[in-house]
Amino acid sequence: PARLAVLASGRGSNLRALAAAFPPGDPLGSVVLVLSNRRDAPVLALARDLGIEARFIPFGADRARFEREATAQLTAAGIDLVLLAGFMRVLSPAFTARYAGRLVNIHPSLLPRFPGLHAQRQALEAGARESGCTVHFVDAGVDTGPVILQRRVPVLPDDTEERLAARILAQEHRAYPEAVRRVLLGEARFEAPQNQEATP
């Protein structure tokens, strides 16, 4: 079975969904480690409540130090797949290259639309008629890697950012475990970008 780690900065509702889908003893995999760049993140307390080992690693201004420490912890724990779940920092090209194909993110929009911060607000401000969530492999860009799956939701005329975020989040909790299952079953794989040149 695969050993899964979650990197998160905040509330941890996606961790809860992943931990429920991949509990201890599951033949496909289990969430065994949570790392957070925020000492006071609710996700750390939640992980401990769920019986999952949880560690704070400061990020601050020193990304290289965070990544060295995170790599050491992930290696020591024998982690096969790293899942970003509300991890609000950008990882370096060296880190994303090291974990290529073993590093997955969830983002609250239908990428490539609305990458970056406040994706739900961006969708409202753009007047989008629908939005959703995307689970994707992480590459060196911000919210750019190969898509594993997406789930769509309507944007309603009287939506607030909070209501849209909640509607998307409900889909995230279904999408993330399903996407991880596909990766673990070998149904979704990280491929190098296609050669864009036309064949003669």
Question: Exactly one of 67, 139, 159, 172 binds ligand GAR (CB under 6 A); which one?
Answer: 172
Nearest C-alpha neighbor of 134 from the set 120, 47, 126:
120
Phi then psi dihedrals of residue 137, to 5 deg: -70, 145
**Residue 86 or residue 177: which is nearer to ligand GAR going by CB?**
86
Closer residue to ligand GAR (CB): 1 or 42: 42
Q: Which of residues 77-106 bind ligand GAR (CB under 6 A)?
A: 85-86, 106
1 or 55: whose CB is closer to ligand GAR? 55
Gap between the Cα atoms of 159 and 95, Å rounded:
37
What is the C-alpha separation between 41 and 28, in angstroms, rounded?
A: 28
Looking at 3-11, 44-52, 93-101, 149-157, which segment touches ligand GAR (CB under 6 A)? 3-11
When binding is defined by CB under 6 A, the residue of 4, 8, 19, 153 that contacts ligand GAR is 8
Among 169, 179, 180, 188, binds ligand GAR (CB under 6 A): 169
Sole binder of ligand GAR in the list 1, 3, 10, 69 (CB under 6 A): 10
| Three-point CA angle 65, 68, 70, nearest 5° | 105
CA–chain centroid gap for 161, Å, is 20
Closest CA relative to residue 146, chosen from 189, 110, 82 = 189
Q: Using the rule CB under 6 A, is 13 a contact of ligand GAR?
A: yes
**Is 167:130 a contact under the CB 8 Å cutoff?**
no
Annotated binding site for (6R)-10-formyltetrahydrofolate: 63, 105
